[in-house]
Amino acid sequence: MWSSAVVLALFAALAPEVTAQAAGGGGPLPLERLFDNRAVSADSRPAEADFDGAGASLSATDLAAAGWTPGRTLTVQGARLTWPRRAPGRPDNVLAAGQDVRVSGRGDGLTFLVAGTTGTDTGGTGTVTYLDGTSTGYRLTAPDWRTGPLATKALALPRVNTPAGQLARQARLYVVTVPLAADRAVASVRLPAAPGLHVFALSVRAPSPGWTGSWAAASGGYPTVGPWTDRTLRLVVHTSAGGPRVRLRFDNTFAAGPVRVGSATVAVQRAGAAARATPVRVAFGGAAGVEIPAGAQAYSDPLGFAVPADTNLLVSFHLPGTVPAAPVHRLAQQRSYVSEPGDHTAEAAADSYPTALTSWPLLTGVDVSGGPGSVVLLGDSITDGDRSTADANRRWPNVLATRLLRQSAVPRYGVLNQGVSGNRVVSDRYPGDGVSTDTAGVSALNRFDRDVLAQTSARTAVVFEGVNDVRWGTPAEQLIAGLRALADRGHARGLRMLGATILPCEGEARCTPAADRERVEVNRWIRSGGAFDGVLDFDAVIRDPERPARMLPAYDSGDRLHPGDAGLAALAGSVDLRMLVP
């Protein structure tokens, strides 16, 4: 029988670097050289992996169907993460136990692809070490792969492999980002020591130097569409900032499978679906098109194309396959267009686009080169522009963007409208998975990382939500806690955070006296709570001085809940632009 010393010597000979780390010596290693758990199995050989310690594992077939193939680099929430280049049944993830991982880069966040296997959230604290020798701490929490929330998952798979056969139960993977010191380059990361915390990939989320977000839309759900087969979508979007180069962003949020964009172009709109000139093709990694895996996003290559400020663009993209459902921003307040069969992306004329579309599917961002960065407006239907004049760009974010362009006292930031009609701060409307008719989105708390922190060159964020929470019975105390959490999370990433007071809505069916009492209490906290760096007192701008529970009739769109064009212009006009400067 071998002595323990002999066993240790043999293990050291076979895996000297891992042994050195376990003993506290040696330097950090790349994550893949620390893999010590098998999460993925072939459907025909499920016993070759044991992700959770009870024999269950992820299906390699289901991962491939979602577009998550070995070695593939996916972009999620602005971070590039590589799915482990390992065959099924081979070690493909790390059980976090205080290992030191070699990581490089400079950015605002450290992004992990993780899942827990303890039946509940699991996590702990770790350390980031920078090239200058300094360090910062972080806390990483991973939801459970079987019971974690669908609203925040990066990917859900339909089945779980076990030695006894497949179970028709979802398996979930999560992308979690923690703050970094953005002014320092990362050298290594010490993982938490946390039972059942599995890490598949990690990377520094790099900033976007030289880019400003000019237009954005948040995906509110995953409804049925079309179905579109061999169709070109021509979406009309309105810029805020302009610049000499452009790049586009497409998101396959909430999806269970990949979507293929065959080709894409950009042009300045002449009228309707007609362009001023021949649309210019964009590329994706040098190719004409791109496949976007489930839950991931794709950026086009930078294109030399002069994007005018405060102007409508036509973004056209061909969908060569059949698309029966898609991530959608439902309330565009803007007519876009669907073509006859074929790739019509390069056509300047409108003849091939007979069908109107009133939502924005798949496209989530237009960035321009140069500029000072962006202001992100997180909101609900009032920010989304509900009841504003269609095709006229009279949402309050549009009016604010025009104000910024017409002055020189503060930087001319891009303005990114992340309003979702029906959205709430603390509860989900869309459950976060599957095809649904509800496109009011996951909660502001659950979409904050994607719709604010991951937006291009965000400098300042405005939180203008809460009326739907109080209308549907959320207590003021709970809503205040949610707003405080949003402010804290933004501050942790270096954002300037502004809070806007909730508008009055007396006369609308759900705006009862009880709801108004909660609204008033929340507004009192926003004004005096100190959680935000500044307050936009939109309630004071819109309310009727003689009946403060309702908005001034001159600002009312007619439904007592949403301001009309005049009210939206009053909101934008009331903003002290100096408050937007970090």
State the SS3 of 23-59. Answer: CCCCCCECHHHHCCECCEECCCCHHHCCCCCCCCEEE
Distance (Å, rounded) from C-alpha 433 to C-alpha 94? Answer: 27
pLDDT in the model for residue 208? 85
Backbone angles phi, psi at 409, to 5 degrees: -75, -30
Instruction: Answer positive or negative: Cα dihedral of 435, 169, 426, 206.
Output: negative
Residues facing residue 116 across a β-bridge:
144, 197
- For residue 376, tell me if it sits in a domain: yes
Q: Does 227 sit behind a cis peptide bond, omega within 30 degrees of 0 on the bond before it? A: yes
Residues facing residue 547 across a β-bridge:
544
Looking up tokens 């179970």 gives: 167
- For residue 62, tell me if it sits in a domain: yes
Indicate if 233 and 340 belong to the same structural domain: yes
DSSP-derived secondary structure letter, 451: I
Indicate if 244 and 358 belong to the same structural domain: yes
Decide which of 303, 332, 366 is a domain's last residue: 366
pLDDT in the model for residue 19? 37
Decide which of 152, 177, 205 is a domain's last residue: 205
Residue 42 structural domain: 4-205
Residues 6 or more apart from 456 whose CB is under 8 A from it? 78, 208, 211, 212, 213, 216, 249, 365, 367, 374, 414, 416
Tokens representing 367 are 């960035």
CA separation, residue 134 to residues 26, 131, 139, 142 (Å): 19, 7, 17, 26
Instruction: Answer positive or negative: Cα dihedral of 174, 175, 180, 186.
Output: positive
Indicate if 85 and 26 belong to the same structural domain: yes
Indicate if 289 and 426 belong to the same structural domain: no
Looking up tokens 């909730």 gives: 502
Indicate if 31 and 78 belong to the same structural domain: yes
- For residue 211, tell me if it sits in a domain: no
b or e along 466-493 (b: 16 or more beta carbons within 10 Å of the residue's beta carbon)?
Answer: bbbbbbeebebebbbebbbbbbebbeeb
Burial tier of 244 (Cβ tally within 10 Å: 0-12, 13-18, 19+): exposed
Instruction: Answer positive or negative: Cα dihedral of 59, 60, 63, 65.
Output: negative
- For residue 210, tell me if it sits in a domain: no
Indicate if 549 and 519 belong to the same structural domain: yes
Cβ atoms of 178 and 190 within 8 Å: the answer is no
Cβ atoms of 507 and 469 within 8 Å: the answer is no
DSSP-derived secondary structure letter, 427: S
Residues facing residue 95 across a β-bridge:
198
Q: Is 155 helix (H, G, I), strand (E, B) or coil?
A: strand
- For residue 464, tell me if it sits in a domain: yes
Indicate if 427 and 325 belong to the same structural domain: no
553: how many CB neighbours lie within 10 A of its CB?
Answer: 10
Looking up residue 563, the CATH number of its domain turns out to be 3.40.50.1110
pLDDT in the model for residue 25? 53
Residues 6 or more apart from 79 whose CB is under 8 A from it? 109, 111, 175, 177, 203, 204, 205, 454
Decide which of 205, 240, 262 is a domain's last residue: 205
Indicate if 300 and 446 belong to the same structural domain: no
Indicate if 29 and 170 belong to the same structural domain: yes
Indicate if 348 and 469 belong to the same structural domain: no
Tokens representing 27 are 């330097």
* Alpha helices in 385-450, H assignment, sequence order: 396-405, 444-448
Tokens representing 143 are 């939801």
- For residue 215, tell me if it sits in a domain: no
pLDDT in the model for residue 66? 98
Indicate if 380 and 360 belong to the same structural domain: no
Phi-psi group of 62: left, alpha or beta (phi > 0 → left; psi -120 to 50 → alpha; rest → beta)? alpha
How confident is the chain (582 residues) per 10-residue block, as mean pLDDT? 34 36 68 98 98 98 98 97 98 98 96 98 98 98 98 98 96 97 96 98 93 98 98 98 98 98 98 98 98 98 98 98 98 98 98 98 98 98 98 98 98 98 98 98 98 97 98 98 98 97 98 98 96 98 98 98 98 98 97
CA geometry: angle at 450 spanning 68 and 425, to 5°? Answer: 130
Q: Is 494 helix (H, G, I), strand (E, B) or coil?
A: coil
- For residue 217, tell me if it sits in a domain: no
Q: What is the dihedral of CA 365, 366, 367, 368, to 10 degrees?
A: -170
Indicate if 307 and 436 belong to the same structural domain: no
Looking up tokens 């501050």 gives: 491
pLDDT in the model for residue 13? 34
What number of residues does the chain have? 582
Number of domains in the chain: 3
Distance (Å, rounded) from C-alpha 351 to C-alpha 343? Answer: 13
Task: Tell which residue, 78, 77, 129, has the closest CA to residue 100.
Answer: 129
Distance (Å, rounded) from C-alpha 49 to C-alpha 125? Answer: 28
Q: What is the CA radius of gyration of the chain?
A: 25
- For residue 292, tell me if it sits in a domain: yes
In this structure, which amino acid lies at residue 72?
R
38: how many CB neighbours lie within 10 A of its CB?
Answer: 19
Q: Is 272 helix (H, G, I), strand (E, B) or coil?
A: coil
pTM, to two decimals: 0.94
